[in-house]
Amino acid sequence: MVQHSLLDILWIITASALVFVMRAGFAMLEAGMVRSKNSINISVKVLTDLGVSLTAFWPLGFGLMFGLSQSGLFGTSLFFPKFDDQWLAVFFLFHAMFASTSATIVSGAVGERIKYSAYMMVTLISLAVIYPVVGHWVWGGSFEGQASGWLAKMGFIDFAGCTVVHSTGGWISLAVLLILGARIGRYNTDGSVNRITGSGLHISVFGTIILWFGWFGFNGGSTLAMNADVPAIILKTSLSGAAGMIVTLLVGWRIRKFPDVALVINGALAGLVGATASCAYISEWSAVIIGGVAGMVMLFAEWLLDKLQIDDAVTAIPVHLGCGIWGTLAVGIFGDPALLKTGLSRLDQIWVQCIGIGAGALWAFGFAFVCIWILNRFFPIRVKPEEEAQGLNVMEHQASTEIFDLYRTLEEQAKTGDLSLRAPVEPFTEVGQIATQYNKVIDNLQTNLVARSEYTNILSNVSDGLFLLDERGQIGPYYSASLESILETKSIAGRELYSVLSPLMTTLVMETLREYVNVLFNGSIDERTLSRLNPLAQVEIFVQQGAEMKSKHVQFLFKRILEGSKVVRLMVLLRDVSQQVELEKTMVAEKQERDSEMDLFYRIIHIDPSLLKEFLESLEDKLDSINQLLEGGQANPGETLNQIFRIAHSLKGESSVLDLKFITDAAHSFEDIVKNLQTKDPLDNSEFISLTFKLGELQETARQITTLLDKISSLQKHIKTPEGTLVSSSKDFSQRLAMLVSQMAGETGKKISFDSAGYVETLIPTSMNRTIQDMVIQLVRNAAVHGIETPEFRKKLEKSETGKIELRTYLENDALIISVADDGKGLEPEVLKYAAIKAGKATEAQTASWTATDLIRFIFAQGVSLAPNVTAHAGRGVGLALVRELSKSLNGKIAVKWKTGMFMNFIVTIPLPKNQL
C-alpha cells in the first residue's frame, strides 16, 4: 500500500471539492440551455444526482469498482466501506464525486421530457452498476496501487476518465434518448431542425467557466497525489480546452455565419473532455491538437445526431461521448510511451485503446438500453405531451416561475377569451413589469371591447344599412347587419363598394354615385351644400330573382369623417324606402288614372251606359278580330289587311254614331296605317309593327273604358239618372243616326232632314241587330256625304235646299228589307268613270263600255271613294264595300235604284229564318 502525505490528502480533498463545484457548473450550463419552463427541473436533477450517487455508490458502486477483483471484471469487497482509514475516505470522496459527474452527463441530454422519477432510476442503475463495472475494468485495484481490471492489465490507459466517466455517461444518454425520443416540435417532417432557444445562455457561460475551473481538480486530482505533474496536467488540460473552443468557434462561425455562443461553450468543453484521458502523458502541442480535433469531433457528432433525429437537449453526447472516444484514442496516438509505461508499441497501444472504447460501449450502452427498455415497458419514462408543453418545472415539481404564471394567464385567456383575467404581478422583476404592462393593455382592450360590443349591438339591430367607406372606395370591416339584407349580398367587409353595387344599379346611377363620393372626399366643398344636392337621396336598385329584376328603392346618406381637415372616411347610411316610394308612386298613378278617367268620363258621359257597354263589347270584339286576323293571316298579309280595314271602318262608323270622337279619331288613324300598308309593294311583315302597336293602344283605350264603365255601373245602382239626358239604348238607334246626320250636315255645310219613321227595329232579329246597324250607318253616311248636295247646288237645280234621307224597314216575302233613300245627286256615271281611270281600276276604253251593273260593281269595290278629301266620314272608299261584306254575311242581296241628279235608293234584302217571322 502506497503511503500518502498530508499534502496529497489535502490536494485530493481540494480536487474533490473542485469536482463537486463542477455540479454547480453542470446545473448552470444545463439550466441555461433549456427553456425556462424546464430550468428548475434540470437543475434539480443535477443536485439529485449527487444524493443518488452517494447513496448508491457507498453501499454497492464503490465495492464493485474498487473491491477485490473477480477475474478483472468487477470488485467483490469494500461494500459499505468504513471511513476509518484516512486514505480510503479521501479516495472514496474523490471517486464519489467522479461517479456523480458521469450521471449528470445524462441529465442534460435527456432534459425537457423525461420523468423525474424515471431519471432517478436511470441514475441509480448507472451509478450502482454500469459506471462501477467500467471503472473496475480501467481503474480497479488503484486503491491498492495494483491494477486488477482486465482492460488495465491489457495496458489500457484512461487517465481521468474519458471512457470511464464521459463516454459511459454519453453511452447511457444515447440509450435513454433512443427510447425516449425527441422533444415535441424539435424536428419537422422534412427532417429539418427547429432551434430551441435556451432560457439564458449567459447562465450556461458561467456554468462552463465553473466547469473549466472544476476540471483543474478533475484531471489534476487524478494523479491521486500532489506531485510535480499536477501543474502541467492542469495547463495541458486547459490548453486543450482553449484549442477546442477556438477551433469550434472559427469553424462554426464560418458555417453558421455568426459566433454561436453554444459553440464557444461546447468547443471548450469538447477540448477539456478530449484531454481528460491523456493530459498526463502528452506534450503541449499534442494537447492543442487533441483539443482542436475534439472541437471538430463535437461539431461532426452534433450534425450526425440531428441527421439521425436524436434530440440531445444540451449537446451532451457530442461533447462527452464523441470527445470521450476521441480522447481515449488520443492516448494511443499522442501519449509518450515512456510516461504510459505499458510497454506497448504505439500501434498496440492504439489497438488496446480501441478495445477499451468498444468494451465500454457494449457494456454501458447495451446494459443501459436493456434495463431502460424494460423499465419503460412497465413504467413509461416520458412525460405526457401536455406536460411537456406546460413544462416540467410546474408539472413535475409544481415549481412555478413568474414567466410561467404570466404564460398560464395568457394561455387561459387565449383558451377562454375571458378578458377579466389578469396576470400575476411579481414586484421588482422584469416579468412583473411585463405583467403590469400586459394588464394595462388588457384593461384598455376590455374597455374597448365593452364599447365595441355596444357598437356591435347597434350594428346588428339597426334597420338601416350603415358602413364606413374609405378613399379607395372600400367598405370597412364593420357594418350593420341590415346592409346585407338591403343589398341582398353577403360578406361585404373590405370589398370595393362599386363592385358590390354594380350588379344592382344602372350604370347611370353608378356613375352618379362615383362622382358624388369623389366630391365628398374633396374637403373643400361645404358638406351641407353637398348633402342638399345629394343625387342619391332616392335611387332604385335591382336584384335578379330568376329572370325577374326585383326592384327596391333606397336612400343613400353620407357623412364625412374628418381627421384634422382631411376627409378620411365617409359614413354611409343606406335606407330601404321602397314602401314609401311605392306608396307615393301608387298615389301618383292613381291620380293620373283618375285624371285620365275624368277625361274619358267627359268624353263618354253623353252616352247611356248600357249603350256604351254594347259598343264596348263590339269594340273589343272588333279589336280581337283584328288581332286574330293578324295571328291567323300569316299566309296572306295583303288579304288580311283588307279584312282589317273593313273592321276598322265599321268601328269608326259605329263610334261616330255614338259621337265618341276620340275613338273615331283613333280608328281613323288606324285606318291611315292600314291604308299606308296597302300601298306598299312588296309588303314587308315588319311594316305591320306600327299596326299591331296601334292595336295595342286601342286595346288599352278599350280597357280604360271598361274600367270606367264598371265604376259608372256601380255608381248607377245608387243614383238614378233623369230620363232623356243621355243618349239612350239601342231602341234609340234611329235618334243616334239622326244626330250623326246632323253632325255630318254641320261639318259639310249641308242641310239634311233625316226621316227614320219607317225604321222598325222590332223587325230585326237580335242576332242581326249589330250587323244591320253597321250596314245602316254606312248607308246613311254614304247618303249624307255622297248623296245630298250643298244647299247652293241644290238651289241651282231648283231643289229644296234641305236634302232628305229616308230609312225604312219592312218585311217582304219572308225577308227583311232595309231601304235607305236620298234625294241627292244619284249616280253620276261620268264622275265614276273618271274616278275609276284615275285610281287605275280601269282604262278609258273599258269605262266607255260600262253598263249600269258595272257602275254598281265599281261603287261597291273597296278602295274607291268619290269624296275629294279623306275625313272621318268619307274618303276611304270602304263604306259600301263594308255594306257588301256585311250583307253577304247575312246572305243578303243589295239592289240599287237611282236617277242621276234626282235620287238614290239602296235596298238590302235579308232572308229571315223561319222561326224569326
Q: Contact positions toward another protein, by CB under 8 A?
A: 505-509, 511, 540, 542, 544, 546-551, 627, 630-631, 633-634, 637, 640, 685-686, 688-690, 692-693, 695-696, 699-700
Is the Cβ of residue 565 or residue 634 nearer to another protein in the bound state? 634
**Listed residue (241, 228, 239, 342) closest to 283, CA to CA:** 239
Within 8 A by CB and 6+ apart from 691, the residues are 630, 644, 670, 673, 674, 677
Q: Can you state the angle between helices 261-276 and 201-220, rounded to 10 degrees?
A: 10
Say which residue the cell 429539418 belongs to.
Answer: 192
Output the smallest distance, CB 484 to another protein, in A: 20
Apex CA 489: angle with CA 487 and CA 495, to 5°?
100
Report the DSSP beta bridge partners of residue 897.
905
Q: For residues 545 and 579, which CB has a smaller minimum distance to another protein in the complex?
A: 545
From the CB of 550, what's the least distance to another protein, in Å? 8
Q: Which is nearer to another protein, 114 or 641 (CB)?
A: 641
SS3 content of the chain, % helix, strand, coil (to 5): 65, 10, 25
Least Cβ distance, residue 629 to another protein (angstroms): 9
| Cα–Cα distance for residue pair 889/767, rounded to 1 Å | 12
What minimum distance in Å lies between the beta carbon of 504 and another protein? 8
The CA distance from 762 to 124, in Å, is 138
Residue 500's closest CA among 473, 464, 534? 473
Helix (H) or strand (E) holding 674: helix 661-678
How far apart are CB 523 and another protein at their closest, in Å?
29
Least distance between another protein and beta carbon 610 (Å): 25
Task: Please say which residue, 484 or 540, places its beta carbon nearer to another protein.
Answer: 540
d(CA 674, CA 684): 13
- Strands (E) in 471-516, as ranges, are 475-479
Q: How many Å apart are CA 101 and CA 20, to the nearest integer?
A: 9
For the bound state, the minimum distance from the C-beta of residue 886 to another protein, rounded and expressed in Å, comes to 24
379-384: long-range contacts at Cβ-Cβ below 8 A with a sequence spacing of 24 or more? 379/118, 379/121, 380/115, 380/118, 381/114, 381/115, 381/118, 381/119, 381/121, 381/122, 381/176, 381/179, 381/180, 382/113, 382/114, 382/115, 382/118, 382/180, 382/181, 383/113, 383/114, 383/115
Q: Exposed, middle or buried, 803 (CB in 10 Å: 0-12/13-18/19+)?
A: buried
User: CB-wise, 630 or 763, nearer to another protein?
Assistant: 630
Least separation in angstroms between residue 737's CB and another protein is 32
3-class DSSP state for residue 152? helix
- For the record, the C-alpha cell of 467 comes out as 358602413
CB 497 to another protein: min, Å: 18
Of the pair 6, 508, the CB lying nearest another protein is at 508
CA 552 to chain centre: 25
Tell the smallest beta-carbon distance from residue 641 to another protein (Å).
Answer: 10
Cβ of residue 692: shortest distance to another protein, in angstroms? 4
What's the rounded Cα separation, in Å, for the pair 601 and 710?
12
* Nearest CB to another protein, comparing residues 354 and 509: 509
Contact 424, 402 (CB under 8 A): yes
Nearest distance from C-beta of residue 687 to another protein, angstroms = 10
Q: Which is nearer to another protein, 443 or 515 (CB)?
A: 515
Query: CA-to-CA distance for 844 and 855, rounded, in angstroms?
Result: 14
Taking the C-alpha atoms of residue 290 and residue 279, their distance in angstroms, rounded to an integer, is: 10
Least separation in angstroms between CB 662 and another protein: 19
Q: Nearest distance from residue 525's CB to another protein, in Å?
A: 25
Q: Which is nearer to another protein, 516 or 542 (CB)?
A: 542
**Residue (633 or 863) nearer to another protein, CB:** 633
Assigned C-alpha cell, 536: 342619391
Q: Which of 341, 248, 249, 233 is nearest to 287 (CA)?
A: 233
Question: With respect to another protein, which residue has the nearer C-beta, 541 or 776?
Answer: 541
For another protein, give the closer residue by CB, 504 or 836. Answer: 504
Smaller CB distance to another protein: residue 544 or 891? 544
291-311 per-residue burial string, b: 16 or more CB within 10 A, e: under 16: bbbbbbbbbebbeebbeeebb
Kindly tell me which of 437 and 544 has the beta carbon lying closer to another protein: 544
